[in-house]
Structure 1
Amino acid sequence: MEASVDYPLLNAFMTMLWFFLWVMWFVLLFRVIGDIFRDDGMSGWAKAGWTISVCVLPFLGVFVYLIARGRGMGERDRRQMQRQDQAFRSYVQEAAAETPAAERTSADELAKLAGLHDHGDITDTEYAQAKAKILASH
């Protein structure tokens, strides 16, 4: 009970505030370091210089980086997200792509139909009707 008297609510609030500011500082620091290495337009010497300035004088280095190159950080993030989105979309299209209808042959369609019939997904009459329809259309 004495510990709660010695540590009032305002002090607990201030401790939490400082803790969250400390976490936010590290998030900002790692974001800046990640942006330094992600930038393809920056030379290796420039990356080394910014990294040294951020590590040696962290507060000053991060704030100067944000002032000098802060606008580009958002643009680089946006471009990276667009590249990732495009890569994901092309992967999904490749994975989900079947042979286009124009390139499908009747043999492909009959093989697919036979697979359905062998699996028991369609009955003998449905198989015969679908087979007749495929042979009539090609």
Structure 2
Amino acid sequence: MDSFWDFLWLTISVFFFMAYLMVLFNIIADLFSDHEASGWVKAVWVFFLIFVPALTALIYLIARGGGMARRQRARYDAARAQSDAYIREVASSSPADQISSAKSLLDSGAISQQEYEQLKAKALA
């Protein structure tokens, strides 16, 4: 590096190159996750992404950007639902565990017999 300006230019160039690679990889991931597009359509997009990359990426983002966002949102929602279901499954205790803990509270005198019956009924519901 001869000067500050060379370093600045290199930094800006690397930034834009990395941003372009991120866009390119997102396009390729979206293209292959689109179940509505045929194999030939995907092959044409990939061909043009290889030989005319910047223009093809721009055209893809303009032409298919809305669908790209919907597919990404659907993947996010599916992953979120799966994660929430797993958390609910792991975090919930069985009715036997709930009744056991209510019984220990009753034995220690922390709750009355009536509260114990309510907790027991709630656990069995």
Normalised TM-score (structure 2): 0.73
AA of the residue aligned to 1:112: S
Match of 2:87 among 76, 92, 103: 92
| 1:41-120 map, 5 Å | 41-99=36-94, 104=95, 108=96, 112=100
1:109 positional shift = 5.8
Structure ID, larger Rg: 1
- Distance change (3 Å), C-alpha of 1:57 and 1:133: same
Structure 1 residues 13 and 94: CA distance shift in structure 2, 3 A? same
Q: CA deviation at 1:110?
A: 9.4
Q: Of the two structures, which has the highest relative contact order with CA contacts closer than 8 Å and spacing of 6 or more?
A: 2
The one-letter code of the counterpart of 1:72 is: G
Q: Percent identity?
A: 25
Aligned equivalents of 1:88, 1:52: Cα separation in 2: 37
4+ residue segments displaced more than 3 Å: 108-113, 126-130
Aligned with 1:40: secondary structure? coil
What amino acid does structure 2 have at the position aligned with 1:82? D
Match of 1:10 among 5, 8, 30: 5
Do structure 1's residue 38 and structure 2's residue 33 form an aligned pair? yes
CA-based RMSD of the aligned residues comes to 3.1
SS in 2 for 1:41: coil
Q: 1:91 to 1:55 in 2, by over 3 A?
A: same
How big is the shift at 1:111? 8.1
Unaligned runs of 5+ in 1: none
TM-score (norm 1): 0.67
For 1:59, give the aligned amino acid: A
Give the Cα separation in 1 of the matches to 2:10 and 2:31: 32
Task: Provide the aligned length of Structure 1 versus Structure 2.
Answer: 117
